[in-house]
Amino acid sequence: MNIRGIFAIYKFEMSRTFRTFSQSIISPVLTTSLYFVVFGSAIGSRIEDIDGTPYSSFIIPGLIMLTILSQSISNSSFGIFFPKFSGTIYEILSAPISPFEITIGYVCAAASKSVIVGIIILLTSSFFVNLNIIHPVWMFFLLILISVTFSLFGFIIGIWANDFQKIQLIPTFIITPLTFLGGSFYSIDMLPEIWQKISYFNPIVYLISAFRWSFYEHTDISIIVSLTTILGFLILCLIAIYYIFKLGYKIKV
């Protein structure tokens, strides 16, 4: 494996993050902090505890997922789209580095950024509520797993997109609405029965449910089912990327 090639891509992508520190790190943290203030302090004090967990604490995993999903997709999609846009993608493809190693470089960089943002948000939330994470190891594992999975998905979007508008199309009109409807701010059990059944078709529900379980052992869906769903989506993304490089879809003339 070409470790030097992978690290070169990784280092370049991470350096771009620190060049745009306010946009990459500060902006999502400030946005999430506003959610804490509005939903946690202002509204949360008027809402009853959910399964013994104060509402201000209950929404923390959902808010972290809301940011992680959007950051993973945007970082990864822009990372691979910009070389396509500038034409430097052909230099990468002609270098002695395999498609698998190219994917590792971009995806690991995007996932690293998302994990950093997630940890900062987690630390920030401790100023608003008392955090008591029951399964910290599982929490960190799920944070990495979900960041990698959606960075792979963002990588696919970046290759598929023809312009900057298409990069934002799926995150804005599909991922964000599904995240808000996936139990970020409520428990699925609070919904009427018909809407509970409909929610099970929302894949984001499984992500948030698993992540919330690592905090409070509260889950709307079995942790085994949630993990299987996440791993299944990760495998589908890997298969899609394999065929993208094999066929040269939108990366080779």
Q: Measure the CA–CA gap between 75 and 69, rounded to whole angstroms.
A: 10
Quick one: pLDDT at residue 101?
92
Task: Name residue, tokens 């070389």.
Answer: 83
Q: Measure the CA–CA gap between 40 and 56, rounded to whole angstroms.
A: 4
Task: Name residue, tokens 């950051």.
Answer: 71
Burial of 151 (0-12, 13-18, 19+ CB in 10 A): buried
Of 55, 50, 99, 103, nearest in space to 79 by CA: 103
Dihedral over Cα of 56, 131, 206, 51: its sign: negative
The DSSP bridge partners found for residue 53 are 50
CB-CB contact of 32 with 124 (8 Å): yes
Tens-binned pLDDT, residue by residue, of the chain (253 aa): 788 888 989 998 888 777 766 666 777 777 777 777 777 666 666 777 777 788 888 888 988 998 899 889 998 998 899 888 887 888 888 888 888 999 999 999 999 999 998 998 888 888 777 788 899 999 999 999 999 999 999 999 999 988 888 888 888 889 988 988 888 888 888 888 898 888 889 999 999 999 999 998 878 888 999 999 999 999 999 999 999 988 888 776 5
Q: Measure the CA–CA gap between 161 and 19, rounded to whole angstroms.
A: 24
